[in-house]
Amino acid sequence: MKFANLRQMFLAPSLLALASAFPATQAQETDIASLAASLANFEIWLIESTPVRPEQFPDVIAEHLEYQFMLEREGIMFAAGPLIEGGDVGPGERPGLIAIRAESLEEATAIAEADPMHSSGTRTYSIRGWRINEGSINVTIKLSGQNRSEIN
């Protein structure tokens, strides 16, 4: 899954629809179109993973993590981890969130279903699409103090 040019691939329909609902001068229309064109329009899918059989968690966690690492290596996973609300709970009892890159809901569903936590019935899941328009990501790469195998 490669996204060549996100601005070409996705429009900003909500901003453009809002702009068309109000009369505007030519200058304002140009400004709104310019703003809409500058939005990232980066779409990801959020998989909320909910425990239903936490007693199976120890039997499935290794396979689940291997699957997550594969998604990360292949550039499919954007981020993943447990949700932190809910106080003090045991292993596998906390819901999780997995953010992935996929071309469609069907593709995101196939990725979620292939997760051993879901295919084993240890957890259920729900999926929502999310269009990221604004934000920033800062990246730091530290080359010293690393093992050669960690620098790829």
Size of the chain in residues: 152
pLDDT band at 10 (very low <50, low <70, confident <90, very high): very low
Condensed to tens digits (0 to 9), the pLDDT of residues 17-73 reads 444 555 555 656 667 778 777 777 789 999 999 999 999 999 999 999 999 999 999
Which pLDDT score is estimated for 24?
56
25 and 56 in a single domain? The answer is no
12 and 48 in a single domain? The answer is no
Which range of residues forms the domain containing residue 144? 1-40+133-152
| Buried b or exposed e, range 10-38, using 16+ CB within 10 angstroms | bebeebeeebeeeeeeeeeeeebeeebee
5 and 52 in a single domain? The answer is no
Question: In the predicted model, is pLDDT for residue 1 greater than 50?
Answer: no
8 and 66 in a single domain? The answer is no
